[in-house]
Amino acid sequence: MRARVLLAATLLLMAGCAGPAGPGPAAAPTSTATVLGDGQISSAIDGISQVAAKPLDAARLGDGLTPPTNRWYSGLVFGATPQPVFPLPLSFGLTDDGFAFGLPTVTVGADTISGGYAPVVGVGLGAETSVVTSDDPSVVVLENRDADAAVIGHTTIAQGWPFVAWTASRATSITVPAGFAPAGDGLWVAQLGATRYAMATTNAEVSGTSVRVADGGRVVFWAVPDGQEPGALLAASMHVPTGSTVTYRVGDDQVDTTLAYATDGSTALARLPQQAGGSCDLGEYPSIYGTMPLCAGSELSWTTPRTRASARLDLSGVTSGQRTELTRQLDADIASLPDFPADTYFGGKALQRVAMLLVVADGLGLDDRASKLAGTLSDQLTTWTDPEGCATRDAFCFGYDPASKGVIGHTAAFGSDEYNDHHFHYGYFLYAAGVLADYDHSAASRLAPVMNLLAADIGSAGNEYFPDRRNFDAYAAHSWASGTAPFADGNNQESVSEAVNAYAGLALWAEAIGYQPLADEADWMLSLEAHSSATEWLNPDLSGFSGYAHRIVSLNWGGKRDYATWFSPEPAAKLGILLLPMSPTSTYLGGDPDAIRANVAEAVGDDFDQKFGDYILMYAALAGADDRDRAIEAAGKLSDDSIDDGMSRTYLLAWLYALRF
């Protein structure tokens, strides 16, 4: 029966979808797999109401390109003034007539690890404007134009690539800082502050601070890595990436990732700590995320433990007393279901709360309660997924924004109409729909057209309607939350656990519709995001950052790392925002009992009866059987005010009862 339902859902996804015109220009293919391509989603796009998001002001984006929201380089594109970006190990920014870059200086305070914009090497191009003309998540090509909008040349930066390359589109002169001295073979070196910088030229003549570059000539800059001579990277600097591809393989216990840059020869790439694997002996760079070894070659490959999404709790081992308590509490929570919020964040969160009550009712075999909860959840999701809902109302609906290429929910929240936090918001809807479809297989076909578009908004690749994997950054191995990143420290992400929830929801929805390409991609993103939640947020290696006074980092940026949140100074908030919503998938948060106990002690001590205390209590239980038993005892003492609007006392207890060690 299950196989037949999945096949039907797959046919629903695929049927009646004529292929539209091809996508806009791109620097190079950005994925080896098409996921929810034009043929799969064009009919759903045609059938949904069009809506207008807030104008994004993509002032520095080439014609015909998909607006690159939620990228590490979004700040280059959007807004009246370009913001610095962080193609680690470097920092980079546009200037009035060109660009500047530099190796960030890492400084450490009690609450912040900083490595901000360092405009050490300023290069004057005579440019009036610069626009991004590439369509790639890792490689950025900027077209530099004069006052007449004529092209002067192109600047290339890329994640992990330790160079900045400029290629002339006509014979011209550019300016560089004083101090570059000849070092042979077209190489110049300058000591600028604490760092040596190298400059290599092709078809160019250097005279003091002026470089005359022939049409097609090139100038490449880099910071000389620790432990290397300037000329060691000369050959690698000649091979400039034009784009990137990402390939991944999902195994039983691990996922494999390869990020490859399209180059005409072997270059060099700096590796982040979580990308461990292979030999890197070209030196190293400091960064706010730890030392970055420099590797020869044009690709990085690494392996990550697999995290699996789950729509169920195993309640088979509950005692008769626990079953009685859960049934009593479930009836109370069903009787007191609050009104459903109209915005996409709290609305989605409320839907997942009901879905978790359904998980408990179904897990206990309480068919009447489960049926009632499934009906409530189905009614709400049916309203939200009416393709024409936004044509008749201004809330509880989704529409498509053709200008910025994305799905916008009404009512917006936390800047979601500027593409902030789409993965957080839509993940709740996808998780709830996945749970409902696991209970009632027919739900997938009812919800599919619009729910597929929510999936496409955060998880598609290779179509003309959405950016590839909107929030997810393969190089960083995690997501970025800000749509336009109007910040001097680059893009950022706070609630990494909600990002994990998003890709878990995506995986559950992929299973519901029987679409393997989406399932594979979701499992891959879920695994990388979950692993990064430990290595970059909850249990990072901070041994190289003496003076930082905490065990966790609650807000990561391109140019700094903060023990802070957007909304509260409380220690409980700084941990809790990295844990919610504690779904059945959230056992990925376990694994290091000592780290869990230390994080809990810093956040709440022994006082769980406070905001976020419910989530922290569940996290504390992951440290071991005794910790779980103490958490169960403490859960009974939590006041109603300490139960979050996305949590219920029923699910809190059931989740704790289901833990096995």
Cis amide prior to 411 (ω within 30 degrees)? yes
Average pLDDT over every residue of 214-221: 99
> Angle at the Cα of 573 (from 572 to 576), degrees rounded to 5?
80
Tell me what pLDDT residue 196 has: 98
User: What's the average model confidence in pLDDT over 399-407?
Assistant: 98
Of 223, 193, 213, 196, nearest in space to 125 by CA: 213
CA–CA distance, 447 with 462 (Å, rounded to integer) = 23
Fold of 74-226: Beta-galactosidase; Chain A, domain 5 (2.70.98)
pLDDT value at 12 more than 90: no
Mean pLDDT score of the chain, rounded to an integer? 95
Rounded Cα distance between 268 and 238, Å, is 10
- 546-575 average pLDDT score: 99
d(CA 424, CA 412): 13
> Phi and psi (nearest 5°) for 94?
-85, 145
Supply 121's token pair: 């090497």
Q: Is the pLDDT reported for residue 269 higher than 50?
A: yes
Domain 320-658: which CATH number of 1.20.1730, 3.40.190, 1.50.10, 3.50.50 = 1.50.10
Task: Give the burial string for 208-220 (b: 16+ CB within 10 Å, else e).
Answer: eeebbbeeebbbb
Helix count (H) and strand count (E) of the chain?
17, 27
Q: Which residues of 354-376 are buried (b: 16+ CB within 10 A; e: fewer)?
A: bbbbbbbbbbbebeebbebbbeb
For position 17, what pLDDT does the model report?
30
The b-or-e profile of 114-138 (16+ CB within 10 A means b, else e) is bbbbbebbbbbbbbeebbbbbbbbb
Q: Flag the least confident range among 278-282, 295-299, 349-353.
A: 278-282
Question: Nearest Cα to 540, choosing from 551, 527, 548?
Answer: 551
Q: For the whole model, what pTM was predicted?
A: 0.95
Alpha carbon of 498 to those of 201, 423, 438, 586, 602: distances in Å? Answer: 46, 8, 21, 10, 22
pLDDT tens, 459-491?
Answer: 999 999 999 999 999 999 999 999 999 999 999
For residue 487, the Cα-to-chain-centroid distance in whole angstroms is 17
Nearest Cα to Cα of residue 17 among 1, 36, 31? 36
| Distance set, CA 258 to CA 242, 249, 337, 472 (Å) | 17, 9, 46, 15
Is residue 154 scored above 60 in pLDDT?
Answer: yes
* Of 257, 252, 310, 360, nearest in space to 511 by CA: 310
Q: At 71, is the pLDDT very low, low, confident or very high (cuts 50, 70, 90)?
A: very high
pLDDT given for residue 20 in this prediction = 26
Whole-number pLDDT of residue 22: 29
Q: What is the token pair recorded at 145?
A: 């134009």
Residue 212 has pLDDT above 80, yes or no: yes
Domain residue spans of the chain: 74-226, 320-658
Residue 85, pLDDT score: 99
